[in-house]
């Protein structure tokens, strides 16, 4: 049983954090489009970023800041323009964005981390951003987490946020998070956009290690369409306001904090997969019997990312052959006569042999899962055992629908 509870507030649930989300005019829709997360004291900062060779200016800016100083006070995120592939002008825009916020807050520009989301090749609408900085700062409050979560979305249908509370040394400790993402989802070292706040005291190196491992077990285990973004990043701030003793090395306290961090990241990652563009359901692939956890992850991600598997789920077609084929091409050696496949509780293959199963029941399972009526909510569970060892992993994705094509065919037109 988890040693924590869900609390309200998102990124402002931890002590010492305030946030805001406003309409600055960056989006043509008139929706909220500029977000701020602010720690009221210096916070240990860590980030994990896209490995794409085509990167947004905010990615390079954050990397530069964190290399110079592993602490920060604020995260500024604009939605509407990705500011990726925008050359020297885009870099200047990023620098000016940080400088403007720093001046308003009276802090060092290097204490401002940046994120952008929107159309690649489009620079930030700087006139609107300039005019938005002052009202954004004035709007920041302990109740501003929900507005901030709204201000970072693009094609998302819902906002994604959570906060958990536990105790360390008898004192309450909280971790909050919010994320955005719906399309262009196949993270490589990071995610779409994810922001984490924490009021525990933790050393710089350990906080970065915790974040990296949590991301590997969450955001790096989701896919919607196989496309890695130019703007993928997870930024995490820990300000120590819980007043616990600093966690500097592996210990029960460190393990508890990392478990909370991983749970926050996994909740957000699954919410992103469930909200995949055009999706009707979440797909969860559990792989066991692999020679290592890494190998299991490779198989799970290959299956959940298969266009044929995703299409079959959308068509409510229990075509287990597509699952077997995806497992077979994942690059992990195993004996096909030891392969086991289940759809929910239905056994489709045992020890490499096809099993008789009720196809109507399997199809109904897919239909009711997509409708959110099944016991597991709106999740289609696929279980695969490759019979080689103790390695195991879970990956998440969604079905592939006509709506996905429609959304992306008309994205800029």
What amino acid positions are annotated as catalytic residues?
A: 191
- For residues 393 and 293, the answer to whether their CB atoms sit within 8 Å is yes
Query: Residue 222 carries which DSSP code?
Result: B
346-350/5-6 β-pairing: unpaired
**Across the chain, which distance is largest between two alpha carbons, in Å?**
69
Please report where in the chains the tokens 């004291």 appear, as a residue. 41
Any residues with CB less than 8 A from the CB of 30 and at least 6 apart, and which?
23
Closest CA to 256 of 160, 161, 175: 175
Give the count of beta carbons closer than 10 Å to the beta carbon of residue 250: 11
Distance, C-alpha 63 to centroid of its chain:
19
**Which residues pair with residue 44 across a beta bridge?**
71, 238
Crossing angle of helices 252-274 and 204-216, in 10° steps, is 40
DSSP E strands in 82-182: the ranges are 112-119, 160-168, 171-180
DSSP E strands in 14-89: the ranges are 17-22, 34-49, 71-81
93 HSE (CA, 13 A, CB side): 26
How far is it, in rounded angstroms, from Cα 395 to Cα 381? 10
Report DSSP letters for 271-335, one per residue.
HHHHT-TT---EEEEEEEEESSHHHHHHHHHHHHH-HHHHHHHHTT---HHHHHHHHHTSS----
């Amino acid at each position: 049983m988890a040693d924590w509870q869900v609390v309200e507030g998102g990124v402002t649930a931890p002590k010492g954090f305030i946030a805001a989300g406003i309409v600055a005019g960056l989006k043509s829709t008139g929706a909220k489009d500029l977000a701020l997360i602010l720690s009221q004291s210096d916070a240990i900062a860590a980030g994990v970023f896209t490995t794409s060779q085509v990167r947004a200016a905010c990615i390079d800016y954050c990397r530069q800041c964190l290399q110079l100083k592993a602490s920060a006070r604020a995260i500024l995120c604009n939605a509407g323009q990705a500011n990726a592939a925008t050359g020297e002008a885009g870099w200047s825009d990023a620098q000016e964005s940080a400088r403007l916020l720093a001046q308003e807050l009276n802090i060092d520009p290097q204490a401002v981390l940046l994120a952008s989301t929107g159309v690649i090749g489009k620079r930030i609408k700087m006139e609107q951003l300039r005019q938005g900085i002052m009202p954004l700062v004035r709007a920041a409050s302990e109740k501003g987490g929900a507005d901030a979560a709204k201000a970072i979305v693009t094609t998302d249908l819902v906002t994604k946020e959570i906060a958990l509370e536990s105790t360390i040394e008898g004192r309450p400790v909280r971790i909050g998070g919010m994320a955005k993402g719906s399309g262009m989802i196949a993270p490589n070292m990071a995610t779409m956009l994810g922001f984490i706040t924490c009021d525990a005291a933790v050393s710089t190196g350990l906080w970065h290690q915790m974040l990296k491992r949590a991301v590997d077990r969450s955001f790096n285990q989701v896919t919607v369409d196989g496309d890695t973004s130019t703007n993928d990043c997870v930024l995490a701030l820990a300000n120590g306001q819980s007043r616990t003793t600093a966690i500097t090395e592996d210990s029960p306290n460190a393990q508890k904090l990392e478990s909370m961090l991983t749970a926050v990241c996994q909740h957000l990652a699954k919410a992103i997969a469930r909200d995949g563009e055009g999706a009707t359901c979440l797909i969860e692939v559990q792989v066991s019997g692999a020679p290592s956890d890494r190998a299991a992850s490779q198989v799970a991600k290959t299956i959940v990312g298969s266009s044929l598997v995703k299409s079959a789920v959308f068509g409510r077609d229990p075509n287990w052959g597509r699952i077997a084929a995806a497992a077979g091409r994942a690059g992990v050696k195993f004996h096909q006569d030891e392969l086991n496949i289940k759809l929910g509780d239905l056994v489709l293959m045992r020890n490499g042999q096809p099993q008789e199963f009720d196809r109507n029941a399997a199809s109904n399972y897919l239909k009711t899962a997509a409708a959110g009526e099944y016991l597991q909510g709106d999740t289609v569970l696929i279980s695969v055992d490759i019979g080689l060892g103790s390695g195991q992993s879970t990956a998440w994705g969604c079905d592939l629908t006509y709506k996905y094509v429609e959304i992306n065919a008309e994205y800029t037109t």
